[in-house]
Amino acid sequence: MKLQINPFLYREMRRYAGSRKFYIWLFIYEAFLTVVTGVGYHIALHTSWDQIMNYSGAAYVYFILAGILGLIVLLIVPSFAAGSLASEWEDRTMELLLAASVKPSEIVVGKLLSSVCLAILLVVAGMPFLSVAFIVGGIQKKHLIQFLLLLVMESVFIGSIGVSLSAACQKVDMAGLQSYAASMGLFVGTALVAVVVYIIERTSQGGGDIVQKGGFGGVMLILLFNPLITMASLLTDQMGYRNKFQELLCVLGPVPEFVMMHWCLISILIQMMVSIILLILSKRKVEKYYL
């Protein structure tokens, strides 16, 4: 059986491959990562004693690089995903796609794939820089693979939000705006909720220790939807700071232990479920357009 690349993905890939702008941006991106990696390891080497490598310093560079990669990916995906379906409506090409006996589900998944493909490409392009930490030491191969997989899944999550808003708005600009607002709501908004509850509690308790009184730990569960926290949970775990991360989670009160122990996995599962629901809704929006 012949393997056929999804037509939407193929189109996007061809578009990138044929665009000079893309190569310029890729060069800038690689140059930026080179500088960060170079400066990072230079500092790490200079803080070593008696020519002995400072492994924790190398791990910090990995942490910073991974954070930068994650942020870039999570900031790029919404704009691509938001334009995915809306551009077909704006360009009046959706009618032909539907008439071409392409299933609405194939259109939605294809559009998600093409939005995520750039993110994956950037992650893969950034992998050599992360791999330096693996060569220097302090980070294992499996950590890199885990991080790569996490970024792909987070891209899918953020991408599906963008695709669903794209299907709902049918206008590229509006979908882009809403997509960024939704992403920021997840990145900052969920954290803000936890911070606000923390401040209110501290104020009402007169600065007492909330962890001991254990009232609002459940509020922290909202952070399961936050891709940045998911990423932080994985990276802190990889660096051996799981306890610190769990301490932070319990700042409002006890969080169910099972959730705390498997935060990253549960978070990914929840986000993937949300993605599936959003993609189903997008599919319905597409198939009901002419009805």
Partner 1 sequence: MLKLQKVKKSYGRKMVLDQLDLEVENGTIFGITGGAGAGKTMLCRMIAGLIPADEGKIMAAGEDMAHDPENIRKKVGYVPKEFGRYRDMDPEEYLDYYGRLYGLSGEHTGEKIEKLLEMVGLAAQKQVQVEKLKLCEKKRLALARCLLEDIDVLVLDDFLVDLDPRERKEIDPLLFQIRDMGKAVLISSPSFSALTGEEESLGILQEGKIVVQGSLEEISEQVNRSNPLELVIAEKSTKAIEVLKEEDTVTRISIDGHKILAGFQGTQEDQVRILRCLMEQGVPVISFQRRKSDLESVFWKMTE
Cα distance between residue 250 and residue 68, in whole Å: 26
Q: Does 98 bind partner 1 (CB under 8 A)?
A: yes
Give the nearer residue to partner 1 in terms of CB position, either 102 or 191. Answer: 102
Quick check: 25 binds partner 1 (CB under 8 A)?
no
Q: Which two tokens stand for residue 251?
A: 């700042």
Q: Is 291 in the site for partner 1 (CB under 8 A)?
A: yes
Name the helix (H) or strand (E) containing 146.
helix 141-169
| Contact present, 73 and 151 (Cβ < 8 Å) | yes
What's the closest the beta carbon of residue 177 comes to partner 1, in angstroms? Answer: 21
List 49's β-bridge partners, or say none.
Answer: 52
Q: Does 17 bind partner 1 (CB under 8 A)?
A: no
The reply to whether 11 sits near partner 1 by the rule CB under 8 A is yes
106/237 with CB nearer partner 1: 106
Return the number of the residue (101 or 212) whose C-beta is nearest partner 1: 101
CB of 92 to partner 1, least distance (A): 4
Phi, psi torsion values for 92, nearest 5 degrees: 60, 40
Smallest separation (angstroms) from partner 1 to the CB of 30:
24
Q: Does 4 bind partner 1 (CB under 8 A)?
A: yes
- Of 18 and 207, the one with the shorter C-beta distance to partner 1 is 18
Question: Which of residues 14 and 262 has its CB atom nearest to partner 1 in the complex?
Answer: 14
Selected from 42, 47, 103, 184, the binder of partner 1 by CB under 8 A is 103
Site map (CB under 8 A) of partner 1, residues 68-97, x = contact: ----------------------xxxx-xxx
244 residue type, one letter: K
Helix/strand/coil percentages in the chain, nearest 5: 85, 0, 15
Q: Which among 137, 152, 92, 140 is positioned nearest to 289, based on CA atoms?
A: 92
Query: Nearest distance from residue 268's CB to partner 1, in Å?
Result: 32
Q: Which is nearer to partner 1, 74 or 86 (CB)?
A: 86
Minimum CB distance to partner 1, residue 4 (Å): 6
- Least Cβ distance, residue 223 to partner 1 (angstroms): 40
Q: Name, in order, each residue with C-beta under 8 angstroms of 72's C-beta and a sequence gap of 6 or more.
A: 29, 122, 126
Number of residues that bind partner 1 (CB under 8 A): 24
* DSSP class per residue in 216-284: -GGGGGGGGG-HHHHHHHHHHHHTT-HHHHHHHHGGGS---HHHHHTHHHHHHHHHHHHHHHHHHHHHH
Q: Tell whether residue 15 is a contact of partner 1 (CB under 8 A).
A: yes
23 belongs to the binding site for partner 1 (CB under 8 A): no
Q: Are 88 and 172 in contact (CB under 8 A)?
A: no
Give the burial string for 146-158 (b: 16+ CB within 10 Å, else e).
Answer: bbbebbbbbbbbb
Q: Does 14 bind partner 1 (CB under 8 A)?
A: yes
Ranges of beta strands (E only) in 238-287 are none
Task: Give the binding site for partner 1 (CB under 8 A).
Answer: 2, 4-5, 7, 10-11, 14-15, 18, 90-93, 95-103, 290-291
